[in-house]
């Protein structure tokens, strides 16, 4: 059965089993996904092989990272095809080649900064590159902070604190930058995306979102942004419709263009999102969605048994 989402120029066909894994392998949760200049797709996951690479048809190419990562969380691929991998389990950001060679490491593996100290890092979540190649890190679960680093990994500045006012954060979960240098931050539990300049000056915020979790913004002038939104995490509204999980597509000024899924609320069915966490887009406009379905199951579906097989990677082919 073919399942489609959206309409008009934002209509997509859902491909659930796109990636052809070697026999006996499993992604478990797919925390991050990225596409390089050759349309090779990098799947940053919490299985035995943390980084698995496919071509755009889903054929397996290579894997690496079992000796590097503790817990996959965020993946960003720079214009030179370098990978910026954020590991919230050992509190590090690593710049890595497409073959798995570590070029730069920021943070001390296994040594988190004190909780909500503002010092980097305590369970950092994602990275972004500005046009001048500064590295921005969202930090994260144990902090409420964004850190700006020079291209060679030296801390330049930080901003943010716990709270719900402009410039404050409640789970700073993801971060992207556009070609004009604006920094977009998924402030997850404040249900918004905040926009800053490269010096941390607050500009505006996008509302009417539900727990924005994943962000993807392609390079170029005036790009649209794809936002992965989590569904309800409380029993009282667990089964309400129109709260996600879903994808929203907005302009770089925050105007809603399209919503994909989420009408039925939390449903474990083919073609339905469960916990969209990592997003990427290839040169043809197809969207890759990594989901942390196993981690998110208790919050989304209660304390019942987790199914043996959950969907954690979807490809949305542009129709």
pLDDT digits (tens, 9 = 90+) for 164-215: 999 999 999 999 999 999 999 999 999 999 999 999 999 999 999 999 999 9
pLDDT above 80: residue 20: yes
| CATH code of the domain containing 200 | 2.120.10.30
What does the alpha-carbon distance between residue 187 and residue 10 come to, in Å, rounded to a whole number? Answer: 25
Q: pLDDT-derived band of residue 133, with 50, 70 and 90 as boundaries?
A: very high
Confidence check: pLDDT of 250 > 80: yes
- Of the pLDDT bands very low, low, confident and very high (cuts 50, 70, 90), residue 53 is very high
Give the range of the structural domain holding residue 163, as residue numbers without chain letter. 4-318
**Least confident interval from 120-124, 218-222, 225-229:** 218-222
Written as six digits, the tokens of 181 are: 């240098």
Mean pLDDT of 15-21: 94
pLDDT at site 300: 85
Residue 275: name the closest of 261, 291, 251, 298 by CA. Answer: 291
Average pLDDT over residues 289-316: 91
**pLDDT of 312 over the 90 cut:** yes
Q: Which two tokens stand for residue 300?
A: 């989304």
- Look at residue 254 and tell me whether its pLDDT is greater than 90: yes
Region for residue 303 given its phi and psi (left: phi exceeds 0; alpha: psi -120 to 50; beta: otherwise)? alpha
pLDDT greater than 90 at residue 301: no
| Kind of pairing between the strands at 168-169 and 161-162 | parallel
Distance from C-alpha of 298 to C-alpha of 309, rounded to nearest angstrom: 15
Question: pLDDT value at position 125?
Answer: 98
234-248 pLDDT tens trace: 888 888 999 999 999
Counting residues of the chain whose pLDDT is more than 70, the rounded percentage is 100
| Global pTM exceeds 0.95 | yes
Instruction: Check residue 172 and give its pLDDT.
Output: 98
- Mean pLDDT, the chain, rounded, equals 95
- Contact 245/273 with Cβ under 8 angstroms? yes
Number of domains in the chain: 1
Contact 96, 77 (CB under 8 A): no
Report the share of the chain in percent with pLDDT over 90.
88
Residue 1 scores a pLDDT above 80: no
């Amino acid at each position: 059965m073919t399942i489609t989402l959206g309409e008009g120029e934002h209509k997509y066909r859902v491909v659930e089993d796109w990636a052809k894994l070697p026999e006996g392998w499993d992604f478990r949760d797919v925390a991050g996904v990225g596409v390089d200049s050759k349309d090779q797709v990098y799947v940053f996951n919490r299985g035995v092989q943390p980084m698995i690479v496919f071509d755009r048809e889903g054929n397996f190419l290579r894997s690496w990272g079992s000796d590097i990562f503790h817990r996959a969380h965020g993946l960003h691929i720079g214009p030179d095809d370098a990978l910026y991998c954020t590991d919230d389990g050992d509190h590090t950001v690593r710049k890595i080649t497409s073959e798995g060679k570590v070029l730069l490491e920021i943070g001390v593996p296994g040594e988190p900064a004190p909780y909500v100290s503002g010092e980097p890092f305590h369970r950092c979540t994602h990275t972004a590159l500005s046009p001048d190649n500064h590295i921005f890190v969202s930090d994260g679960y144990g902090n409420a902070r964004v850190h700006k680093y020079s291209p060679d990994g030296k801390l330049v500045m930080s901003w943010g604190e716990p709270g719900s006012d402009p410039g404050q954060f409640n789970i700073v979960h993801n971060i992207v930058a556009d070609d004009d240098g604006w920094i977009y931050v998924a402030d997850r539990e404040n249900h918004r995306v905040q926009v800053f300049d490269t010096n941390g000056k607050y500009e505006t915020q996008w509302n009417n979102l539900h727990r924005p979790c994943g962000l993807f913004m392609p390079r170029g002038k005036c790009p649209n942004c794809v936002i992965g939104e989590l569904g309800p995490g409380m029993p009282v509204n667990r089964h309400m419709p129109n709260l996600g999980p879903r994808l929203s597509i907005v302009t770089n000024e925050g105007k809603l263009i399209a919503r994909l899924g989420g009408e039925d609320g939390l449903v474990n069915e083919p073609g339905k999102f469960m916990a969209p966490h990592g997003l990427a887009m290839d040169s043809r406009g197809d969207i890759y969605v990594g989901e942390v379905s196993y981690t998110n199951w208790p919050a989304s579906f209660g304390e019942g048994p987790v199914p043996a097989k959950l969907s954690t990677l979807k490809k949305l082919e542009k129709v």
